[in-house]
Amino acid sequence: MASPTRLLIVAIDGGAASGKSSTARALAARFNFMQVETGFHYRAITAEMLRLGVRSDDPSHSQRALHELSLETRVEGQAAWLEINGRRPGDEIRSPEVNAAVSHFAALPAVRARLLTYQRSQVDVALAHGFRGLVMEGRDIGSVIFPDAPLRFFLHADPTERARRRAQEGQTDSITERDRLDSSRKTAPLTIPEGAIAIDSTYLTLNEVVNHVAKQVEQHLRQSSAS
């Protein structure tokens, strides 16, 4: 991994529909940071495994299939997208089948190890594209992927409000069940990293959350340009 010193890394974690990707997208646009949605990575791998007929309760088959996949990155605007075997996964990653299977594949250590390497490599991608910051969101960014990131946020929201947000998007998704699986797995569980800034967005608009996070980023940028 290249030294991240020239790049400000912002980690955003939280449960399903807590507002991570919307916040990351808005932040990336405001500061010209590169934005990475790691949920997309887990969903993309899951869709590929389902397409290949691999089951999450067959870890050795998963491991073999994983080995065959080449993972690359395409940057479009501020967003960095994962491509698997030269193709960017499409809408299938939001299907009810993927929603139901993703937390099971995400609990496999081999899947997490492969994505850890890939996700850390996004620092090089961001530097190569001339970005001054990288905002990455997921479940283990501030705890495992970039535990030394200077800015780490954890978004909360009441489960009822999160279910309402997902339903409004027209999705069939059992977010409470995914949260339960994601929080209880052995490898890189969903947890509030020590020292992370927690934000409860239940009664906040997206704009209010973004302004709160952006203030911290501005403060950090001011401090680092002064030192």
Contacting residues toward ligand CDP, per CB under 6 A: 14, 16-22, 38-39, 42-43, 102-103, 106, 138-140, 165, 169, 178, 182, 201, 204-206, 209
CA distance 158 to 164: 10
- Report the residue number, 147 or 221, with the smaller CB distance to ligand CDP: 147
Nearest approach in angstroms of CB 120 to ligand CDP is 12
The least distance separating ligand CDP from the CB of residue 50, rounded to whole angstroms, comes to 14
Complete DSSP assignment for 166-196: HHHTT----HHHHHHHHHH-SSS-S---TTP
Secondary structure of residue 56 in the 3-state scheme: coil
Q: Which is nearer to ligand CDP, 161 or 221 (CB)?
A: 161
Position of minimal CB gap to ligand CDP = 39
- Is 153 in contact with 142 (CB distance < 8 Å)? yes
Q: How far is the CB of 7 from ligand CDP (least distance, A)?
A: 19
At a CB cut-off of 8 Å and minimum separation 6, what does 203 contact?
Answer: none
- The least CB distance from residue 6 to ligand CDP, in Å, is 24
Residue 36 β-bridge partners: 136
**Cross-strand partners of 136:** 11, 36
Judged by beta carbon, residue 6 or residue 215, the one nearer ligand CDP is: 215
Residue among 21 and 35 whose Cβ is closer to ligand CDP: 21
